[in-house]
Every structure is written in structure tokens, then in C-alpha cells.
């Protein structure tokens, strides 16, 4: 069974290289999308991986994250992998490669992804629901510098529309009536990815609508998947150890105090890390496990 490890990376060259090194395993195929805004290129990255030729300029919450995710899925699906695990360049496994492979072998055919309905989002204690709805109602302007004249014009137009929407509430976009959301990090079986890619290709209007919003990588795949989700083979769990504080848009960076809890959590990956010493310690533990 071949497992595709899909990595969305945007910074920290040494951390990405160490992650790639950690995930070297006969059954794993590593695919990397490197943000065009990174201060290094694919050529600078040492290690064995497949690069995504068409990479995007991504910023937090921007729709290009969706495009990058589907670029990874399309390439890895074409290569015939059976499982597809999406992580970021700041994630790291908390189980050995052998245990990760054994987990999917024992659960073959099942998909693990966090998907919740619009109604469930409304009562989720960690989410500020009113702010969440603004993801859909206001035009999102990517938080990065435009790279050419065309982007400058688009950013300027979006800025004017957003300012008008803030001033005149009747100009805000209506909230989609039937959407699903959840963590954008997933572990999908090939059957679900096949459904997802078909729905993605068909849903041109929905994609155009959501391309104006914020953090739609946490909405579009989930909404598309839910149309054909094989519910008897779906586990509502992303298999990620993450620490969130209420009403925040980013998870907490993990510390040495979190390491023991992450390892004993039975999750497969933890996010997110910015301390290489912590990663070295975790890697040393995985070699012994």
C-alpha cells in the first residue's frame, strides 16, 4: 500500500528538510508544494520528494491554499497512491513511520477527516461564530504583496469592495445555505479522493463563490466531500495533536511541556512546531519506538 504524504510548506528550509528526512520510508511517497513567497526554492531543498511544478503564492486564509492542496491531490492521485495525508511544513509525526503505515493497513478503506455542519460550527465553543460568518460575507484580501500589475489591480478592487461591504451591510455576500467545515488536514482513502476530485471539477460556481472568502481550505473540501462521503468508512478525526485557545485563528506552537502529551495522544501527527530542538528530541524518541 502506497501512502502519499502531501506537504504544504512556506518557510523554514531546515525544518522542511528534517521533516522530509524523517518521513523517508518505502511505502511513503512525499509530495511538496512550496509557496512562491518562500525565500528559497525547490532546488535549495535536500531530500527525496516530488515537487509540484505549478506552485502558488499563498498567504494565510487566501484561496491559493485551496489550489495548492488540490495540486498536491491531483498529482499524487495520478501516481496511484492509496492514501493521502495532508500536513504542513511545520508539522511532525508523533508515531514512527512503521506505526503510521500499520495504522492505515489495519484501517484500510477508511478515511479520517474532521467535518462538521454549519449548525455544529455555530455551537462550537472554540469558534467565534459571528467572525466565522465574515469569512463568507466579506471579500478577503490576501495578506501578501501583489506580485504584478494584474494582482495590484485585483487587490485594489477587492479592497474597495471590502470597505464598501463594511460600511453598507446590504452589500455583503449571503451566507451559503449548506456548507460544511473542519480542519483542513486530512487522511483520505483513494475512493474519497476520487469523489473529491470529481466534485471539485464539477463545482465551478461554488469554487468561484468561495474564492472570495477567507480560509476556504477549511470549507470547500469538506462541503464537496460531504456530498458523496462513504459514511460507514468515515471517521470524524483528523489524527492531529493540536492545542487551540478559544476564538483564535491559529493553533499554539508546541513546547517541551506538550511533548509527552503529544506522544501519548495516539494521534499520528502534531502541529505546529517552531523549535528545532524540540523536533530533534521527538525524532530521537521515534527512532527508539
Dist CA 58 CA 112 (whole Å): 25
- How large is the average pLDDT for residues 165-190? 92
- Are 111 and 55 within one domain? yes
pLDDT at 176: 86
- Are 160 and 259 within one domain? no
Do the domain assignments include residue 133? no
Question: 72: part of which helix (H) or strand (E)?
Answer: helix 64-78
- Are 158 and 248 within one domain? no
- Are 272 and 233 within one domain? yes
- Are 91 and 231 within one domain? yes
Cβ neighbors of 175 (< 8 A, separation 6 or more) are: 133, 136, 137
- Are 146 and 8 within one domain? no
Q: Is residue 249 predicted with pLDDT exceeding 80?
A: no
Cβ neighbors of 176 (< 8 A, separation 6 or more) are: 136, 209, 210, 223
Do the domain assignments include residue 125? no
Summarize pLDDT for 132-165 with one digit per residue, the tens: 888 999 999 888 777 788 888 988 999 999 999 9
Question: 59: part of which helix (H) or strand (E)?
Answer: none
Do the domain assignments include residue 194? yes
pLDDT-above-70 percentage for the chain: 100
Do the domain assignments include residue 122? no
Do the domain assignments include residue 128? no
pLDDT at 196: 96
Task: Report the Cα–Cα distance between both ends of the chain, in Å, rounded.
Answer: 22
Cβ neighbors of 100 (< 8 A, separation 6 or more) are: 3, 93, 268
Q: Tell me the residue range of the domain where 281 lies.
A: 3-117+180-288
- Are 167 and 145 within one domain? yes
Question: Which is it for the CA torsion 99, 103, 106, 108, positive or negative?
Answer: negative
Burial label for 81, CB within 10 Å (0-12, 13-18, 19+), is: buried
Do the domain assignments include residue 123? no
- CB distance 186 to 113 below 8 Å: yes
Dist CA 255 CA 75 (whole Å): 34
Confidence of residue 120 (pLDDT cuts 50, 70, 90): confident
- Are 74 and 33 within one domain? yes
Number of domains in the chain: 2
- Are 162 and 185 within one domain? no
- Are 104 and 212 within one domain? yes
Q: Is residue 273 predicted with pLDDT exceeding 80?
A: yes
pLDDT at 63: 94
- Are 75 and 209 within one domain? yes
The more confident residue out of 70 and 133 is 70
- Are 105 and 166 within one domain? no
Do the domain assignments include residue 152? yes
Do the domain assignments include residue 281? yes
CATH of residue 35 = 3.90.550
- How large is the average pLDDT for residues 91-103? 97
Amino acid at each position: 500500500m502506497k501512502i502519499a504524504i502531501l506537504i504544504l510548506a512556506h518557510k523554514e528550509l531546515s525544518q522542511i528538510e528534517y521533516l522530509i528526512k524523517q518521513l523517508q520510508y518505502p511505502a511513503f511517497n512525499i509530495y511538496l508544494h512550496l509557496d512562491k513567497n518562500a525565500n528559497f526554492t525547490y532546488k535549495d531543498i535536500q531530500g527525496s520528494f516530488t515537487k509540484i511544478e505549478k506552485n502558488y503564492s499563498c498567504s494565510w486564509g487566501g484561496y491559493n491554499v485551496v489550489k495548492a492542496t488540490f495540486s498536491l491531490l491531483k498529482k499524487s492521485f495520478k501516481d496511484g497512491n492509496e492514501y493521502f495525508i495532508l500536513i504542513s511544513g511545520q508539522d511532525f509525526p508523533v508515531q514512527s513511520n512503521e506505526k503510521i503505515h500499520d495504522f492505515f493497513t489495519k484501517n484500510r478503506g477508511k478515511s479520517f477527516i474532521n467535518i462538521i455542519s454549519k449548525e455544529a460550527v455555530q455551537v462550537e465553543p472554540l469558534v467565534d461564530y459571528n467572525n466565522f460568518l465574515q469569512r463568507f460575507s466579506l471579500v478577503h484580501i490576501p495578506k501578501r504583496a501583489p506580485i504584478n500589475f494584474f494582482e495590484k489591480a485585483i487587490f485594489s478592487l477587492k479592497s474597495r469592495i471590502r470597505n464598501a461591504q463594511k460600511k453598507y451591510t446590504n452589500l455583503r455576500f449571503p451566507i451559503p445555505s449548506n456548507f460544511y467545515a473542519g480542519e483542513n488536514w486530512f487522511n483520505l482513502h483513494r475512493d474519497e479522493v476520487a469523489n473529491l476530485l470529481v466534485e471539485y471539477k464539477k463545482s465551478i460556481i461554488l469554487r468561484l463563490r468561495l474564492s472570495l472568502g477567507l480560509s476556504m481550505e477549511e470549507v470547500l473540501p469538506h462541503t464537496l466531500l460531504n456530498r458523496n462521503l462513504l459514511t460507514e468508512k468515515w471517521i470524524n478525526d483528523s489524527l492531529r495533536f493540536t492545542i487551540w485557545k478559544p476564538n483564535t485563528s491559529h493553533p499554539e506552537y508546541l513546547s517541551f511541556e506538550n511533548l509527552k502529551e503529544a506522544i501519548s495522544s495516539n494521534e499520528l501527527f502534531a502541529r505546529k512546531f517552531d523549535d528545532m530542538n524540540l523536533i530533534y528530541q521527538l525524532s530521537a524518541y521515534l527512532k527508539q519506538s
